[in-house]
């Protein structure tokens, strides 16, 4: 069995190094160790990730492929990784260059896939704050905490920050939409298409990945922008893939309900504290994003790189 681990990287050499060192430590206790190839796609035309890969390759236990995708954009980088996989790949796993997997991350993904006969398996991404003095509202509000599900829970969508895909699913849809190259959301669109094609998505609670959160992301502005962006992308994709009046109407109502909920939460937040106020505003931003996505408003999330 061959598993291809795909990494899209852009000007984060330290993050990429952490990730590769983490992948170096992968171990297996529930499944026999598969053959593994790791593909690093450098989306920086100057090749800023090349030295990291060269330095680690000598004692790296898995096959390591490095290539440069000169067209700037996350969709291009992910597609380059997909087409660079070996022909006999059984599974593709995606993980980001600002993350580090748990030692048994891949073992757990493969075990859950086999147990539940899943087409796609995804798990939680746990925040690791790069600075110890994180604002109190961040921890109180749990804005970076993943929503927990029991292992085996069936989902509607996944993301490329912690996911395993069976190769047969890629025979149906094998390309990330390049319209999302700079806006992001290419993974939401990709996995929503896979779900629409009838693929089974399963949650693996113990398949842990840790995301390094830089100080630039622990701001109120970034949290609210992320809420707006995530919900607008989902609406945009849903409008395109399920273009019925009923689906769009439900999405509009959800957006308006979020806005109303947020405004109703503002007054109690005066007593509850800053984290409660930000939670209220986040609902408003998510609601506005939901409606904005329906009318095609885009936000270019990948113009700025956070972390190193």
For residue 12, the domain's CATH number is: 3.90.550.10
Q: Choose among 70, 290, 98, 295: nearest CA to 181.
A: 70
Q: How far apart are CA 105 and CA 109, in angstroms?
A: 6
DSSP state letters, the chain: -EEEEEEEESS-HHHHHHHHHHHHT---SSSPPPEEEEEEEE--TT-TTHHHHHHHHTT-SSEEEEEE--S-SHHHHHHHHHHTS-TT--EEEE--TTEEE-TTHHHHHHHHHHHHT-SEEE--EEEEESSS---HHHHHHTTTPPPP--TT-EES---TTSEEEEGGGGGT-----GGGTTT--HHHHHHHHHHHTT--EEE-TT--EEEEE-GGGSSHHHHHHHHHHHHHHHHHHHHHHS--HHHHHHHHHHHHHHHHHHHHHHHHHHHH-HHHHHHHHHHHHHHHHHHHHHTT----GGGS----
Domain shared by 165 and 256, yes or no: no
Q: How much is the pTM?
A: 0.93
Whether residues 145 and 47 share a domain: the answer is yes
Structure confidence at residue 67 (pLDDT): 96
Q: Cα–Cα distances in Å, from 112 out to 70, 142, 158, 272?
A: 36, 27, 15, 40
Considering the domain architecture, whether residues 253 and 150 belong to the same structural domain is answered as no
Pairing status of strand 63-68 against strand 91-94: unpaired
Q: Tell whether 171 and 193 lie within a shared domain.
A: yes
The reply to whether 208 and 245 lie within a common domain is no
Q: Tell me how many domains the chain contains.
A: 2
In a domain, 261, yes or no: yes
Domain boundary among 197, 215, 233: 215
Cα(8)–Cα(302) distance, integer angstroms: 12
Let me know whether 176 and 205 are in one domain: yes
Distances 104 to 22, 90, 101, 209 between C-alpha atoms, Å: 10, 19, 8, 10
- 171 and 270 inside one domain: no
Assess whether 175 and 277 both reside in one domain: no
pLDDT in tens, the chain (308 residues): 999 999 999 999 999 999 999 999 999 999 999 999 999 999 999 999 999 999 999 999 999 999 999 999 999 999 999 999 999 999 999 999 999 999 999 999 999 999 999 999 999 999 999 988 899 999 999 999 999 999 999 999 999 999 999 999 999 998 999 999 988 899 999 999 999 999 999 999 999 999 999 999 999 999 999 999 999 999 999 999 998 999 889 999 999 999 999 999 999 998 999 999 999 999 999 999 999 999 877 655 545 555 56
In a domain, 18, yes or no: yes
Claim to verify: residue 206 and residue 225 sit in the same structural domain: no
Residue 179 falls within a domain, yes or no? yes
275, part of any domain: yes
Query: pLDDT at position 247, please?
Result: 86
Which pLDDT does position 151 carry in this prediction? 98
- The whole-number pLDDT of residue 132 equals 84
Asked if residue 224 and residue 209 are part of one domain, the reply reads no
Considering 215, 249, 271, which residue would you say is the last residue of a domain? 215
Integer Cα distance of 116 and 111 in angstroms: 9
308 in a domain, yes or no?
Answer: no
Same domain, 15 and 157: yes
* Domain-ending residue, one of 192, 215, 238: 215
**Do residues 54 and 201 both lie within one domain?**
yes
* Domain assignment present for 146: yes
Q: Which domain holds residue 159?
A: 2-215
First to last CA, the chain: 34
- Contact in structure between 202 and 116 (CB atoms under 8 Å): yes
Task: Please give the distance of CA 97 from its chain centroid, rounded to a whole number.
Answer: 11
């Amino acid at each position: 069995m061959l598993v291809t681990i795909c990494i899209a990287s852009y000007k984060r050499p330290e993050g990429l190094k952490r990730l590769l060192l983490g992948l170096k430590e992968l171990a297996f206790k529930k499944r026999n160790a598969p053959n593994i190839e790791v593909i690093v796609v450098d989306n920086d035309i100057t090749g800023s990730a090349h030295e990291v890969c060269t330095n680690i390759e000598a004692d790296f236990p898995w096959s390591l492929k490095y290539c440069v995708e000169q067209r700037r954009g996350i969709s291009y980088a992910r597609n380059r990784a997909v087409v660079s996989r070996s022909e006999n790949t059984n599974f593709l796993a995606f993980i980001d260059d600002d993350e580090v997997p748990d030692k048994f991350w891949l073992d757990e993904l493969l075990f859950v896939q086999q147990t539940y006969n899943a087409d796609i398996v995804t798990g939680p991404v746990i925040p690791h704050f790069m600075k110890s003095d994180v604002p109190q509202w961040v921890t109180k509000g749990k804005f970076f905490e993943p929503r927990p599900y029991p292992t085996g829970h069936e989902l509607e969508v996944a993301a490329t920050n912690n996911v395993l895909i069976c190769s047969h699913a890629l025979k149906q849809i094998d390309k990330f939409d390049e319209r999302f190259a700079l806006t992001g959301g290419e993974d939401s669109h990709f996995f929503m298409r896979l779900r629409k094609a009838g693929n089974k998505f399963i949650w693996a609670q113990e398949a842990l990945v840790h995301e390094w959160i830089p100080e630039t992301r622990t701001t109120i502005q970034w949290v609210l922008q992320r809420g707006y962006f995530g919900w607008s992308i989902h609406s945009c994709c849903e409008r395109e893939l399920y273009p019925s009046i009923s689906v769009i109407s439900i999405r509009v109502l959800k957006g308006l309900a979020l806005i109303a909920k947020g405004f109703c939460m503002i007054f109690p937040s005066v007593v509850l504290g800053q984290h409660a106020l930000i939670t209220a505003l986040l609902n408003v931003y998510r609601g506005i994003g939901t409606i904005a996505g329906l009318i095609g408003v885009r936000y270019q999330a990948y113009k700025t790189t956070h972390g190193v």
